[in-house]
């Protein structure tokens, strides 16, 4: 294929994709696509949870004579002959959650944490006056890839909600200023795709105005810390965002083909396709070989296949130096000293400054850790970790820890952030195994297995026993490590869709997830049955629908939500659930213990 296409059709060439995002369908090509239909039949074998009295063995978690309490019902019992007899609360789905009757909430442990993942733009709109910035507009249709108004202010308003859910860490999508314009979305270019999700960075030093101001971000972090909630910020070092018509005009990089400006409106970002075209068609207006592309990131910064830039291979061929989803690939492995990109030199609002003798990696690490130093961010969720060399992540971790130490010394009166900076890696399709990523600065890696494994647990919790036992044995082995498991995500599936919107399944999966060894991640709306949204020709977009606050306000979500809250609060009180060693104590009813230091719990599930 030619490096730069000389003919243009409604089909889109690889070179076009490489630097203008024409093929920006899924967020990243490495993530498994969403099935065309929900996974079926998983609730056909739904077991019947008991509401009858149960005799529960407690093993060595509690001694004879100890008084224990069922956290769900509040009922107490005294241990006799190594067991207690209690009746599950009517709404408990057959669960009894035993703790010492005089227990206090135990100290925080990341392996026992509950991390709540929000796509900021889709979670809560705290200020409507910042909904549209940089010339962005709604599409007036399904609003699949446009900004919806969620912001830092809205998330701050919902922190008490998260606290009630037992959440002790919130993961937010990247807060950086995004590309101002849109690219064609989906395989068919059937919608305008903005960087509402935060993964199309333009300026790493500024918050996106749609998300809010620096002071609003500071308030978010401080208010989270005041509630004992840590803030984990999503970061990207593999790539910036695509180029767009709007940014080309605003920042004077790239060029149109001679005479083609007459085909554009005064504001280039307002371009619309003709009836026979789609949103990829505007690429025919662009001169891909023009020397003014040097005014963008520049060939020393990224591989992009334009002008005299290097053309990257596909990431499936070269994961580290390849282009991921046709995004420009940062040269994070280069030892070459670089200047600040021209467009950032001329961007008045940017806080990016020329660094002496700095590489691309030096700049990115400086920009990312600046958020820790200024705001006290507690950790990073690292996007696309396998597409950047391990040395870069070790450097990021080292510098982030220094930045955290600086913040703590400047804000000594605050109980948070914690002393140790935390980093978790997204490495598709990582499982529960201690890989080399733990030697590259990461404290945990996302586990992609549980989403499928939790199906059986939502049907009947006792089906999780081999999974719980396997996870615990591995995580607490000779060289302990940690993973973060989930049942829904922005790049795979929503459990509500997997469960075919069955409220019983959505309720019961809370125990399957929240009792899993290691860190548990709730995707916003897991706890309320949030529905799959408009998706166009990109199956991932529907996973990022707006948070269903109306279902909470109307009471529709209450039976599911109240159950998630009870289990979440129990997990928050006992890090042993995630960090402790698992031991099965019985099969009828299904009973297991988790013990970590002086923290101990016994969990029982009974079925008819």
- The per-residue pLDDT for 250 is 97
For residue 544, what are the CA distances in angstroms to 33, 193, 456? 14, 13, 25
288/292 Cα distance (integer angstroms): 10
Among 221, 206, 402, 236, smallest CA distance to 324 is for 236
Catalytic positions, please?
383, 426
Q: What is the pLDDT of residues 153-178, one digit of tens each?
A: 999 999 999 999 999 999 999 999 99
Please name the residues in contact with 261: beta carbons below 8 A apart, sequence gap of 6 or more.
Answer: none
Per-residue pLDDT at 45? 76
Look-up of token digits 């239909």 = 37
Give tens-digit pLDDT for 27-58.
443 344 444 334 333 445 799 999 999 999 99
Q: What CA–CA distance (Å, rounded) separates 356 from 541? A: 41
Pairing, β 54-57 against β 83-86: antiparallel
Half-sphere exposure of 327 toward its Cβ, with a 13 Å CA cutoff? 29
11 pLDDT above the threshold of 70: no
Residue 604 domain flag = no
pTM summary value: 0.94
> Hey, which bits of 383-533 come out as E strands?
422-425, 444-447, 483-486, 519-523
For residue 328, the surrounding DSSP H or E stretch is: none
Cα–Cα distance for residue pair 139/143, rounded to 1 Å: 6
30 in a structural domain: no
Residue 36 falls within a domain, yes or no?
no
CB contact set of 501 (below 8 Å; sequence gap of 6+): 529, 531
Q: Each residue of 58-103: pLDDT tens digit? A: 999 999 999 999 999 999 999 999 999 999 999 999 999 999 999 8
Asked if residue 203 is part of any domain, the answer here is yes
β-strand 114-118 against 581-587: which pairing, if any? unpaired
pLDDT digit string, tens, across residues 273-325? 999 999 999 999 999 899 999 999 999 999 999 999 999 998 889 999 999 98
Give the count of domains, the chain: 1
Task: Report how far residue 349's alpha carbon sits from residue 495's, in angstroms, rounded to the nearest whole number.
Answer: 41
Residue 518 within any structural domain of the chain: yes
Percent of the chain with pLDDT over 90: 88
Which residues does 585 contact at the CB level (< 8 Å), separation at least 6? 57, 58, 59, 591, 592, 593, 602
For residue 58, is it within any domain? no
Query: How many angstroms separate the CA atoms of 17 and 26, rounded?
Result: 13
Which one, of 462, 519, 455, 440, lies nearest residue 487 by Cα? Answer: 455
Helices (H) and strands (E) in the chain, counts: 16, 22
Q: 541: which DSSP letter?
A: G
Q: Which of 24-28, 219-223, 316-320 reaches the highest mean pLDDT?
A: 219-223
Q: What is the mean pLDDT of residues 195-222?
A: 98
Strand order in the sheet with 581-587: 76-78, 67-70, 95-100, 599-605, 590-596, 581-587
Percent of the chain with pLDDT over 70: 93
Q: List, in order, residues 6 or more apart from 103 with CB less than 8 Å away.
A: 69, 573, 574
Give the least confident one: 41-55, 106-120, 194-208, 525-539: 41-55
CATH number at residue 144: 3.20.20.80
Residue 167's SS3 state is: coil
Bridge partners (DSSP) of residue 446 are 484
Query: Pairing state of beta strands 183-185 and 590-596?
Result: unpaired
Q: Which letter does DSSP use for residue 32 in this model?
A: P
- Please tell me the distance from the alpha carbon of residue 19 to that of residue 244, in angstroms, as a whole number: 9
Residue-range definition of the domain harbouring residue 542: 114-242+330-582
Give residue 3's pLDDT band: very low, low, confident or very high (50, 70, 90).
very low
User: What value does the mean pLDDT of the chain take?
Assistant: 92
Closest alpha carbon to 39 in 584, 452, 364: 452
Residue 453 falls within a domain, yes or no?
yes
CB 117 within 8 A of CB 521: yes
Each residue of 231-256: pLDDT tens digit?
Answer: 999 999 999 999 999 999 999 999 99
Q: Is the pLDDT of residue 4 over 70?
A: no
Decide if 443 is inside a domain: yes
Using alpha carbons, select from 89, 94, 97 the residue that is nearest to residue 50.
94
What integer pLDDT is reported at residue 15 of this predicted model?
43
| DSSP per-residue codes, 534-588 | --TT-TTGGGGPPP-HHHHHHTTTHHHHHHHHHHHHHHHH-THHHHSEEEEEEET
What's residue 43's pLDDT?
44
By C-alpha distance, which of 440, 26, 34 is closest to 197? 26
Over range 353-369, report the average pLDDT.
98
Under 8 Å CB-to-CB from 380, ≥6 apart: which residues? 232, 233, 234, 235, 368, 396, 400, 421, 422, 423, 424
Instruction: List Cβ neighbours of 335 (8 Å cut-off, separation of 6 or more).
Output: 359
Q: What is the pLDDT of residue 23?
A: 46
Q: What single-letter DSSP state applies at residue 452? A: H
Contact 447, 426 (CB under 8 A): no
Identify the pLDDT of residue 33: 41
């Amino acid at each position: 294929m030619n490096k730069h296409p000389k003919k243009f059709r409604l089909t889109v060439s690889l070179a076009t994709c490489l630097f203008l995002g024409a093929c920006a369908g899924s967020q990243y090509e490495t993530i498994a696509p969403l099935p065309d239909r929900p996974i079926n039949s998983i609730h056909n074998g739904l077991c019947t949870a008991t509401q009858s009295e149960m005799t529960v063995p407690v093993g060595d978690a509690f001694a004879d004579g100890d008084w224990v309490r069922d956290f769900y019902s509040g009922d107490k019992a005294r241990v006799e002959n190594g067991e207690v007899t209690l009746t599950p609360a009517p709404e408990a789905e057959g669960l009894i959650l035993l703790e010492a009757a005089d227990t206090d909430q135990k100290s925080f442990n990341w392996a026992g944490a509950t991390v709540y993942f929000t796509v900021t733009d889709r979670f809560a709109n705290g200020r409507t006056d910042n909904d549209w910035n940089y010339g962005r507009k709604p599409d007036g249709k399904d609003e699949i890839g446009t900004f919806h108004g969620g912001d830092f202010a809205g998330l701050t308003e919902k922190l008490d909600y998260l606290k009630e859910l037992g959440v002790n860490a919130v993961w937010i999508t990247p807060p950086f200023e995004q590309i101002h314009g849109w690219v064609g979305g989906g395989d068919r270019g059937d919608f305008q795709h903005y960087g509402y999700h935060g993964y199309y960075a333009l300026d790493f030093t500024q918050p996106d105005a749609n998300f809010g101001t620096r002071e609003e971000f500071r308030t978010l972090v401080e208010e989270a810390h005041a509630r004992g909630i840590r803030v984990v910020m999503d970061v990207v070092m593999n790539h910036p965002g695509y180029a767009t018509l709007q940014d080309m005009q605003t920042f004077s990089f790239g060029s149109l083909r001679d005479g083609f400006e007459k085909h554009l409106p005064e504001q280039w970002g307002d371009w619309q396709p003709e009836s026979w075209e789609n949103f990829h068609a505007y690429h025919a207006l662009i001169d891909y070989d023009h020397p003014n592309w040097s005014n963008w990131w520049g060939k020393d910064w990224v591989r992009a296949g334009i002008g005299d830039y290097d053309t990257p291979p596909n990431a499936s061929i070269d994961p580290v130096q390849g282009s991921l989803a046709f995004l420009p690939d940062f040269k994070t492995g280069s030892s070459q000293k670089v200047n600040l990109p021209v467009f950032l030199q001329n961007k008045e609002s940017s806080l990016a400054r020329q660094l002496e003798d700095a590489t691309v990696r030096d700049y990115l690490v400086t920009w990312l850790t600046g958020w820790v130093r200024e705001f006290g961010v507690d950790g990073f969720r690292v996007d696309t970790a396998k597409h950047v060399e391990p040395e870069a992540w070790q450097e990021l971790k080292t510098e982030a820890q220094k930045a955290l130490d600086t913040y703590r010394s400047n804000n000594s009166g605050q109980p948070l952030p914690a002393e140790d900076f935390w980093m978790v890696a997204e490495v598709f399709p990582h499982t529960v195994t201690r890989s080399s990523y733990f030697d590259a600065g990461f404290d945990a890696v996302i586990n992609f297995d549980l989403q499928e494994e939790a199906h059986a647990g939502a049907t009947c919790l006792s089906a999780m026993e081999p999974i719980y036992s396997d996870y615990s044995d591995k995580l607490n082995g000779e060289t302990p490590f940690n993973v973060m498991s989930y049942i829904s995500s922005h790049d795979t599936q929503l459990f509500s869709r997997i469960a075919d919107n069955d409220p019983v399944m959505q309720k019961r999966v809370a125990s399957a997830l929240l009792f899993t060894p290691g860190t548990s991640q709730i995707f916003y709306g897991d706890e309320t049955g949030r529905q799959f949204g408009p998706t166009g020709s990109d199956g991932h977009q529907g996973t990022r629908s707006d948070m269903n606050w109306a279902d909470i306000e109307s009471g529709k979500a209450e039976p599911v939500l109240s159950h998630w809250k009870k289990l979440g609060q129990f997990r928050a009180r006992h890090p042993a659930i995630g960090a402790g060693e698992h031991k099965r104590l019985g099969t009828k009813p299904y009973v297991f213990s988790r013990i970590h230091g002086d923290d101990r719990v016994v969990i029982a599930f009974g079925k008819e």
